[in-house]
Chains A and B, each alone.
Chain A
């Protein structure tokens, strides 16, 4: 944790995936301030200042949340639902990271208000490129929105 405001929150339980994602984002200089949360429960505690994050000082909202669907304890869909129903977090762009195109998950994610999704390809080069484009896009969009507000 550093003093710089967190720009991207990555919620991912697989350390390998997390490292690959963070590397890809950093390598392409999408963002340096990436907060990694290990499961759905921790993510909820972080966003709503409960549990181990109870009493944390108010933070500026992150520019993007990258959310894996398959998470221990509280799954990604539940996290998404909470984020998109709370007025304080509703406006944070959330991009789903998923291992497959299982229609069930995707349909549900869109109903809950997800902004985009990203199938994690096995080919890491492909993944890094997609992540970079996506991240830039959303960060840029949010900056414009911030200026306007």
Chain B
């Protein structure tokens, strides 16, 4: 049954081409043609065969031929240029006499006349990318092929479309405008293969990175065409034929040169080009039928050809199935068991080459690992003519044993009975199955022996149930909320989960007697707090999450609460789609101790934070009452007491400062509770130790008779001790039986903290009272001072009015006496009257100065920036008169401005300058200098003079009121001017001082804060 597939294909091709290329005739000498005849030759662009060159001259292979023949035959060639289509039309209309390079077709043969000699043969060829593998037209099935639109290659008889149709191929065709476009499409992989003119392809394929395939179609002889029935045609044909024949005989003729020049160095040698060398040897071996097929293919167009093609295709298909099947297929003759043929699958699987098995028996190559299996096969064949799915071990060439699944049947070929068997290598499958089984066993073992509690749950029904819920209108995206709102539906979900298996660890964890009890009663592992986690799980399953975890509170079958970390792992579907199960592996880890520790830690952290907050608040200047309130609020909340009381110790009595009754309704009952609590508080205060009582009803320390049996149960009392003093106590109580002592660390820390805070608050309170008292006293004293000040003002006001009146009278009447009794009084009387009047004036001056001094003290200070130099000059100008001006040398330096009250500062300068003028009165030339200097960052202004000066030992008296350092007779004045200066400077925050030496002038300094 072996058909040399590839060889046959190539042979067909060969035959086609060989037949077509056959040179049919070689006539005798050409008839002579009268020279000088005009021959119109069609010219069109088809380089390199025929075209117009850059000089406008016809060129190309055909042009050379035409020119040669014209010379030989004496034509006067008249080129008629046009498109190919125009050329054909002109030829049909006899407008041209010869058209070169016209492919012969039966249709054209009916329309035109052709020369007999063949200048060249042209064909179309398929081109593919270099990596593609197209060996025959059959390989084009399912491919995309680019071809020239409306061309013969594609559409014409024996065109590629036609061929594809007749070979039953399904191809897609891309119609392109040019060969270039076709090659580009193939290069871009838009098309798997491209159909192009052979010459074009040969010249261009490499440039596009394409390779030629053995598939060649429409080999066409390219001839000179002539108008049919034109009078000149027979002669022209004869001339052309004779010349061509002569040219082709001579290998050095212009014909071969032109071919080489225009059509490439390899020329177009048909046999050399297309037919592989081995084809010739194989040709002899081929059977007649194959030859027939080839011949028919060449002849074409007939029914026979078509039928044969179909037959050939069927054989091809069988052959293809045989060869390409990955299973091992072998054909053995029944009579002697010899291998007749094996396929590639067989050689691939067994490792034998075809040569090693063909002609041998299976026994010879010991391919059956168990010879009995062969017997079983033979038995089956004998019984029914076929064997199906026989599983047997086979020995491969390298000795390995493979498991095969064999089917065989008997067929008759060439009259002989053969066994055709097909064997699939199922070794891999077997190994996989074994691995699966081992894996499953390992899983089971792991599951059973895992120290982690594991549950295998089937939630197929649950999912179906959820689907039903969705159908009934439960929003898919809102399942969680819906289940939360419908606890009964959530509870129902538990019934739809089937516990397939649990492991020993789960049985132990949930205190079940055995697996069965846990599986049956698993719903009892839910506490009322478990459903939230279960809801999460249901939602996660519904969402198709494959892995998720959560924490939940559950309970054992014996009722013990446990905290569990639950991890769900959704196994992939098992079974076929129709019978699928959704299995979840659930791991439950008892995290109760961790949770307990976590809660304890949380509680500690909470307490710590509260303590911290309390101490921070207590430090924040709180009153004892607020400390008491804060303390019991915190302590009550932190330990969950129903009653919290805060007592302060005052003179050995307990005084309730704050109370909080928490959840206990406040009423007579609660008041009694307080009493009850109070009876235990005594020991707390007296023993200076915390007192804890789990149940005061049985506590001997509780001495209050009316202790309410329904009331307070547990009690904690904390003394607040600072130093050696009990400041108070905190009492906590609960109506439940509580062991407050478990919170002792927290409570006693709280107690210590509060004691300090409470003490501070008490001290602070006393301090505040003190402060308030002090402030009150300051206010009183200030008021007194203000009153005195007012009196003083009134006094100075009245002084100015009342003291001056009598003085005026003394002065006035002394004067009247002196004037009106001038004649009656002697000189002594006049002198005495003068003394009276002089003293009166001094008294008035004293009063005026005193008032001025008092005014300076009361004058409000309005600070503004003062140009001190300008002020000094202005004051001087006011004080000086023309007489003095001649005597005084004043120097005023530029001084920094001062920030002061301008009227008061004017007064300062006035007094100091007046002083300087007064004490320089006796100098012939008085020198007064006003200036400033910076000393230790402050500005010091000074006025110096060259007057009489003063003795520095009295400098401390200089600025005192009414202090004078010179006798009245020498220098007048009340001694108040410098006091005023000092008062003003001091009021400005400055200082004033003076330096002097008797007889050497004096310098007065004033330091003012910088502006």
**Pairs across A and B, CB under 8 Å, 28 listed:** A16-B805, A16-B809, A17-B805, A17-B808, A17-B809, A20-B808, A20-B809, A20-B812, A20-B816, A70-B801, A99-B800, A99-B804, A99-B805, A100-B797, A100-B800, A100-B804, A102-B800, A120-B804, A122-B807, A122-B808, A122-B811, A122-B841, A122-B843, A122-B844, A124-B812, A124-B815, A124-B816, A127-B812
**Chain A neighbourhood of B205, CB < 8 A:** none
Residue of B at shortest CB range from A105? B797
CA distance A16 to B802 in the complex (A): 13
B257 at the interface (CB under 8 A from A): no
The 4 closest A-B pairs by CB, nearest first: A100-B800, A16-B809, A122-B844, A124-B812
| Least CB distance, B710 to chain A, in whole angstroms | 83
Question: By the criterion CB–CB under 8 Å, are B815 and A122 in contact?
Answer: no
Question: By the criterion CB–CB under 8 Å, are A16 and B797 in contact?
Answer: no
CA distance A14 to B804 in the complex (A): 12
Known: A100-B800, A102-B800. A125 touches B805 (CB 8 A): no
**Chain B neighbourhood of A99, CB < 8 A:** 800-802, 804-805
**Chain B neighbourhood of A125, CB < 8 A:** 815
List 4 additional contacts besides A14-B805, A122-B808, A122-B811; criterion CB under 8 Å.
A20-B813, A70-B801, A100-B851, A122-B841
B840 at the interface (CB under 8 A from A): yes
Interface string of B790-812 (1 = CB under 8 A from A): 00000001001110111111011
**Chain B neighbourhood of A121, CB < 8 A:** 808, 844
Which of A16, A17, A20, A122 has the most C-beta atoms of chain B within 10 angstroms of its own C-beta?
Answer: A122
| A-side interface residues, number (CB < 8 Å) | 16
Identify which of residues 70-121 in chain A touch chain B, using a CB-to-CB cut-off of 8 Å. 70, 99-100, 102, 120-121
Select which of A16, A23, A70, A102 is within 8 A of B808 by beta carbon.
A16
**Chain B neighbourhood of A20, CB < 8 A:** 808-809, 812-813, 816
Question: By the criterion CB–CB under 8 Å, are A124 and B811 in contact?
Answer: yes
Residue of B at shortest CB range from A99? B801
| Least CB distance, A76 to chain B, in whole angstroms | 11
Residues of A within 8 A of B (CB): 14, 16-17, 20, 23, 70, 99-100, 102, 120-125, 127
Known: A99-B800, A102-B800, A120-B808. A16 touches B813 (CB 8 A): yes
Residue of B at shortest CB range from A120? B808
CA distance A125 to B841 in the complex (A): 12
CA distance A139 to B797 in the complex (A): 32
- Chain B interface size band reads 20 to 34
Question: By the criterion CB–CB under 8 Å, are B801 and A100 in contact?
Answer: yes
Residues of B within 8 A of A (CB): 797, 800-802, 804-809, 811-813, 815-816, 840-841, 843-844, 851
CA distance A23 to B808 in the complex (A): 14
**Chain A neighbourhood of B812, CB < 8 A:** 16, 20, 124, 127
CA distance A17 to B811 in the complex (A): 11
**Chain A neighbourhood of B802, CB < 8 A:** 99
Residue of B at shortest CB range from A70? B801
**Chain A neighbourhood of B841, CB < 8 A:** 122-123
Residue of A at shortest CB range from B840? A122
CA distance A100 to B854 in the complex (A): 13
**Chain A neighbourhood of B816, CB < 8 A:** 20, 23, 124
Residue of A at shortest CB range from B851? A100
Residue of A at shortest CB range from B816? A23
Which of A17, A23, A100 has the most C-beta atoms of chain B within 10 angstroms of its own C-beta?
Answer: A100
CA distance A99 to B840 in the complex (A): 15
**Chain A neighbourhood of B806, CB < 8 A:** 16
CA distance A17 to B851 in the complex (A): 22
CA distance A20 to B841 in the complex (A): 17
CA distance A99 to B801 in the complex (A): 5
**Chain B neighbourhood of A100, CB < 8 A:** 797, 800-801, 804, 851
CA distance A16 to B843 in the complex (A): 18
CA distance A102 to B797 in the complex (A): 8
**Chain B neighbourhood of A14, CB < 8 A:** 805, 809
Residue of A at shortest CB range from B844? A122
Question: By the criterion CB–CB under 8 Å, are A124 and B800 in contact?
Answer: no
Select which of B797, B805, B808 is within 8 A of A124 by beta carbon.
B808
| Least CB distance, A100 to chain B, in whole angstroms | 4
| Least CB distance, B612 to chain A, in whole angstroms | 64
| Least CB distance, B557 to chain A, in whole angstroms | 104
| Least CB distance, A74 to chain B, in whole angstroms | 17
| Least CB distance, A12 to chain B, in whole angstroms | 10
Which of B808, B812, B851 has the most C-beta atoms of chain A within 10 angstroms of its own C-beta?
Answer: B812
**Chain B neighbourhood of A127, CB < 8 A:** 808, 812
Residue of A at shortest CB range from B804? A99
| Least CB distance, B104 to chain A, in whole angstroms | 142
| Least CB distance, B980 to chain A, in whole angstroms | 16
CA distance A16 to B804 in the complex (A): 12
**Chain A neighbourhood of B840, CB < 8 A:** 122
**Chain B neighbourhood of A124, CB < 8 A:** 808, 811-812, 815-816
CA distance A17 to B804 in the complex (A): 11
**Chain B neighbourhood of A23, CB < 8 A:** 816
CA distance A23 to B802 in the complex (A): 21
| Least CB distance, A102 to chain B, in whole angstroms | 6
**Chain A neighbourhood of B804, CB < 8 A:** 99-100, 120, 122
**Chain B neighbourhood of A122, CB < 8 A:** 804, 807-808, 811, 840-841, 843-844
CA distance A134 to B690 in the complex (A): 98
| Least CB distance, B835 to chain A, in whole angstroms | 15
Residue of B at shortest CB range from A20? B812
CA distance A17 to B835 in the complex (A): 21
CA distance A122 to B811 in the complex (A): 6
CA distance A121 to B804 in the complex (A): 8
CA distance A46 to B854 in the complex (A): 39
CA distance A14 to B844 in the complex (A): 18
Residue of A at shortest CB range from B803? A99
CA distance A70 to B808 in the complex (A): 15
Which of A123, A125, A127 has the most C-beta atoms of chain B within 10 angstroms of its own C-beta?
Answer: A123
